[in-house]
Amino acid sequence: MNITQLGEARFPSPIKRTVSDNLSVPEHIISNKQKVGKNNLNFELAGPREKLYFDPAKTKAGIVTCGGLCPGLNDVIRSLYLELTHAYDVHEVYGFKWGYKGLLPENDAPVKLTAEFVDDIHKEGGTVIGTSRGPVDVEKAVDNLVKMGINILFTIGGDGTQRGGNALFQEAKKRGHDLSVVGIPKTIDNDVAFVSRTFGYLTAVEEACQVLDRAHIEARSVENGISLVKLMGRNAGFIAAGATVASQDVNFLLVPEVPFKLDGEGGFLSVLKKRILDRKHALIVVAEGAGQDLLAGKDAGRDASGNLLLNDIGIFLRDEIVSFFKNEKIPVVMRYIDPSYLIRSSPANAEDSILCDLFARNAVHAAMAGKTGLVIGYLHDKFIHVPIELMASEVKELDTAGFAWRAVLAATGQPERFE
């Protein structure tokens, strides 16, 4: 995949071990022998280049975090700063406050990052420079970036954030201002194409497992106890599936990729009834995007970024379960738990902290080489450069015929479909 280059890289890199633009990573490493090479994208390998486009002594970089919280945001900010200053000797790095709003001059002034400022931020959840949702006034934002002399902008966020970053690059290009925009994909849901694991995902699974452990205790400590836990996952059930397999205590998992029916002999409520009569307790996990078809006609609107808001499947399912067992004259003790915001605001665990560091350092390498309009991807244990438009055009979902979903079915014992 071709990556946009601002121009000829002329400055020698201070990093001795570099990689060539000619090295690539295939999208698929396992292929049908008769179809080798067909429909198999090749991505530019990330890493330090031999020549830099930007003179480090004259370079100014900015960082912006957008969208919802995710474990590891502060780790990324810190590692971006450290790689810029320690590896490349760049000493003007700014954190723009409150997401894309911070690019506008009428809002809070950006923070100049220092070693003291970033010293302990990786130990905290959230983002020290703040975040928000919503689009950016591209012309006014570029006016401000040009006025400040910003050469590099790191955009940490989802597909909307990255499309916004690309718009900033295109506007700067029209004006003849060299601006490298490099995205770092941020989604706790692990649903980004060309990224085998996003930062924050494993922390979310770990935190969710603790919630499931306690929810399981609540359910089995009373007769006919039912614990229902809603976890993150707007379009994909990776967190819910990962936590279910790691926990091994979940009896039912509902995810966006697998539609389900509530009523009828093979419906979810009938299967749950059998479980309660046989075992006297049940632990249910539902991903936030599951079962949206059951709430059809209830328009929840859109958020500031233009994303469709989800109807609350957790509350709906809780009420349907309570009503069903009441009609069946079976007394149950219902517990409903939604730990989503507690999980999102957690600091990253060790595994995610390492991943954050690697995403950040590879983003700096790309930017200093003058590459732009790209997002750092992660495939086959290699970091890659992915054009923003390509990453934003594809969505990763659970393969319900694959190993991950088969593991869920084995761990829960639930039927493949509730229908």
Contacts of 30 (CB under 8 A, 6+ apart): none
Contacts of 120 (CB under 8 A, 6+ apart): none
Q: Which residue intervals of 328-383 are DSSP H helices?
A: 340-344, 350-368
Catalytic residue ranges: 189
Alpha carbon 6 to its chain centroid, in Å, reads 28
Using an 8 Å Cβ cutoff, are 343 and 204 in contact?
yes
Q: 261: which strand partners?
A: none
Q: 95: which strand partners?
A: 63, 111
Question: Which backbone phi and psi does 296 adopt, to 5 degrees?
Answer: -55, 140
Give the integer Cα–Cα distance in Å for 313 and 253. 13
Give the integer Cα–Cα distance in Å for 241 and 190. 11
Give the integer Cα–Cα distance in Å for 415 and 102. 49
Count Cβ atoms below 10 Å from residue 147 Cβ, excluding itself. Answer: 9
Supply 397's token pair: 């979902």
